[in-house]
Amino acid sequence: MRTYLVTGGAGFIGSNYIHYMFRKYGDEIRIINVDALTYAGNLKNLKGVQERPNYTFVKADICDKETIQKIFEENDIDRVVHFAAETHVDRSITNPEVFVQTNVMGTAVLLNCARAAWEQPDGTYLNGKRFLHVSTDEVYGSLEEDGGYFYETTPYAPHSPYSASKASSDMLVKSYIDTYHFPANITNCSNNYGPYQFPEKLIPLIINNALHGRKLPVYGDGKNVRDWLYVDDHAKAIDMVQEKGRLGETYNIGGHNEKQNIEIIETILDTLQEMLPEGDERKKLVSRELITYVEDRKGHDRRYAIAPDKIKAEIGWEPETMFKEGIRKTIAWYFEHEEWMADVTSGDYQKYYEEMYEGK
């Protein structure tokens, strides 16, 4: 039975990954989920998983060396899948330091603990041990509107404190691969969407605001482009890279699904109208009149677009969920989880929203 140490498993992608892994492997694997439960972490994302005997939750900060070391000492960890991070670009612009702390220092702690547990006196590693560092396409910077893609060989050129901290963590992982032959892979994925995404990110924020008849804030001219991937396709790619990827390699993950922000917002509005039943009061609230152009994000990257050629050729991964289907599944999930949304948008979220959008 393989034992996985998943960090950040109470967040958006981490929780989807854990659900995916238990759906796929059932009782054949064991997962230990380490999460500090910051504002972005929510144990309600793991409903149905927490009762499993082959699942353990540890509330801890990945920067806490002693606790992480102890987890490695007390468990024979085969795989690390490292999601834990501060992830929201806007927050990184107002408060960069915590991004450096968690994303860079936290990654250093994990790398050191995994190396200490797995490296043998002759410098080789225990058989079958693998570390996967989950990263973003934002490390590559911004593309021109009219062409080009991010390849694994594209030079790093991060612009936001978030992407700079992720780039630093990627380089740290690369340094462990090069210096210690550490058994790791890095994946750089495009923007994800799907269930359990915190409504500070574009898609859930627009769904939630539209359903309440609130303004839909569009940064700048709304023509910035992101390359959207349904979260289950990302979970599958991570698993495939860990099982089939060449150690030491980086794999870009994305699905050639580029969309301007304004297109995304209009698609959400149209889909909400299609999916809301006749007579539902919210049908009257959902309207293009809510679209509000606001001040642009500082240093706003214009376009991201992944070339997923390497992962397709070497590993055979391809995205399975078309955007039209993925956005319907996502909206259906938010319809069915109104309580989840009410819960995560109470308290601190109100304060965050006012501070972030006030005056914009």
Q: Which does 218 bind (CB under 5 to 8 A by kind): ligand NAD, ligand TYD, none?
A: ligand TYD
Instruction: Check binding of 185 to ligand NAD (CB under 6 A).
Output: no
C-alpha dist (Å) from residue 56 to 5, 40, 46, 121: 10, 19, 11, 30
For ligand NAD, the closer of residues 125 and 208 by Cβ is 208
Which of 39, 219, 352, 353 contacts ligand TYD by CB under 6 A?
A: 219
Mask: binding to ligand TYD, 296-335, rule CB under 6 A, as x and -?
-x--------------------------------------
For ligand TYD, the closer of residues 197 and 242 by Cβ is 197
Which of 10, 89, 117, 238 contacts ligand TYD by CB under 6 A?
A: 89
193 catalytic per annotation: no
What is the number of the residue whose Cβ is closest to ligand NAD? 11
Shortest distance, CB of residue 359 to ligand NAD, whole angstroms? 25
280 catalytic per annotation: no
Which of 42, 102, 187, 191 contacts ligand TYD by CB under 6 A?
A: 191
301 catalytic per annotation: no
Shortest distance, CB of residue 251 to ligand TYD, whole angstroms? 19
CA 85 to chain centroid: 9
Size of the site for ligand NAD (CB under 6 A): 31
Which residue stretch of 34-42, 46-54, 123-131, 301-309 sits at the interface with ligand NAD (rule: CB under 6 A)?
34-42
Q: Which does 37 bind (CB under 5 to 8 A by kind): ligand TYD, ligand NAD, none?
A: ligand NAD
Shortest distance, CB of residue 11 to ligand NAD, whole angstroms? 2
Instruction: Check binding of 10 to ligand NAD (CB under 6 A).
Output: yes
Instruction: Check binding of 83 to ligand NAD (CB under 6 A).
Output: yes
Instruction: Check binding of 201 to ligand TYD (CB under 6 A).
Output: yes
Please give the residue ranges that form the binding site for ligand NAD (CB under 6 A): 7-8, 10-14, 35-38, 40-41, 61-63, 83-87, 102, 106, 134-136, 166, 189, 191-192, 198
